[in-house]
Amino acid sequence: MKFDISMDELRSRFELLSPEDKKKAYKVLSAVGIDLSKRKDDLTGTRVSGFILENRFYEADSHKSVFLQVAEIVLKKHPNDQDKIFKIQGTKKKYFSKNFGEFTHDYEIIRGTRIYADTNENAAQLNRRCQKILLLFGIDPSSLMVIPT
């Protein structure tokens, strides 16, 4: 049996799932390297006017701003579990740290915390990192939608 399905079709079918089934499916798809977080094939070079997270609109003027605000919102909702964010890391570098000296390039503090975030990434990478943050803290990753200008 052979299955041919486009990413657009997969995303469409994913949107029809219940919130609980979306969380399960996202975990499985992420584990096999399928990234549903991208709304476009390439986010790099695109501009944003804001984003929607869990049905609430937030203003943002860049993908970096979306990333930092998503991290801030999630960490504010989970003040006792903020250290969980350190589980999100790359193979060669840290994405989050309490010590800004661990970053060699751009970094910013996540407002309301003592946690610094590596911001030296392109839009697609920042978007994937937002998805990982949401998933780690039990928030439906599909509840995030970046609004282009």
Query: Domain with 60 in it: what CATH number?
Result: 1.20.1380
pLDDT confidence band for 40 (50 / 70 / 90): very low
DSSP states along 58-94: EE-SSHHHHHHHHHHHHHHH-GGGGGGGGG-B-SSSB
Report yes or no on 2 lying in a domain: no
83-99 tens-digit pLDDT? 999 999 988 889 999 99
In angstroms, the CA 75 to CA 110 distance is 9
In total, how many domains does the chain have? 1
Q: Quick check: is 1 in a domain?
A: no
For every residue of 94-147, DSSP letters joined together read BSEES-GGG-SS-EEEPTTSS-EEE--S-HHHHHHHHHHHHHHTT--GGGEEEE
What pTM does this model have?
Answer: 0.75
128-139 pLDDT, tens digit each: 999 999 999 999
Give the structural domain span for 42. 7-148
Return d(Cα 86, Cα 132) in angstroms, integer: 11
Q: What is the pLDDT of residue 1?
A: 57
Q: Does residue 142 sit within a domain?
A: yes
